[in-house]
Amino acid sequence: MTESLSNVARRKTEELILQGGLAVGTKITERDLAERLGMSRAPVREAIRELISVGLLEQISARQIVVRRLELSEIREIFEIREMLEARAASLASIRVSNEQYNALEELHLKMLKAAAVSPSDYFELNITFHSMIHEIANAPRLATLIDHVMRESLLFRSRGLVDEANIRSSIEEHEQILKAIRLHDAELASLLMGRHIKGGFRRLELI
């Protein structure tokens, strides 16, 4: 299925926010964003509406839209929600994972190990994929939709926690423990470890 132009505009804008091309507080106009993306204004207009709805952009007034700035209390709440939802996803994934799916997850983890030594930004991208793969293995579409919504909002700050070498190392170690629990089909342990992993992500963010 061909991706709609509004989805392309949304995805490209999310990437700009994630990569720092659109910093927190940056004023967004339909015309300027369309020029930057090399697209017409109609799909960009729809993308802006969607990004406001998920909390990445904020409409200050009728004429002013900015990249949203999150307060620490909001970030904490997002992590608390992620902790509950992703712990459940890990639990389901450990029960439902096939050998083929586990092998793919382990292969991705090996790619992350290589990326960690070379490029924190590449590691961050693969980290998103790692979590998304667990959500897919869980095979719970409504749960995945809820997690996706929360994770989109957290694009505003998530990369900040994985720029430090020690933080990346901690993330890798936690992923290895989660992988082991999934391989053993231990739902309770997978849930516990994923919850700790998300909570640890917030602690790492607080230290920056």
CB 64 within 8 A of CB 27: yes
Helices H, strands E: what count in the chain?
9, 3
What six digits make up the tokens of 54? 């998920």
**Measured distance CA(78)–CA(81) in Å, rounded:** 5
Angle, helices 72-96 vs 141-153, to 10°: value is: 150
Predicted TM-score (pTM) of this structure = 0.78
Domain boundaries in the chain?
5-67, 72-206
* Superfamily designation of domain 72-206: GntR ligand-binding domain-like (1.20.120.530)
CATH domain 5-67 topology: Arc Repressor Mutant, subunit A (1.10.10)
Per-residue pLDDT of the chain (208 residues; tens, 9 = 90+): 567 899 999 989 988 887 678 888 899 999 999 999 999 999 999 999 999 988 889 999 988 999 988 788 888 999 999 999 999 999 999 999 999 999 999 999 999 999 988 877 788 889 889 999 999 999 999 999 999 888 877 766 655 555 567 888 899 999 999 999 999 999 999 999 999 999 988 887 765 5
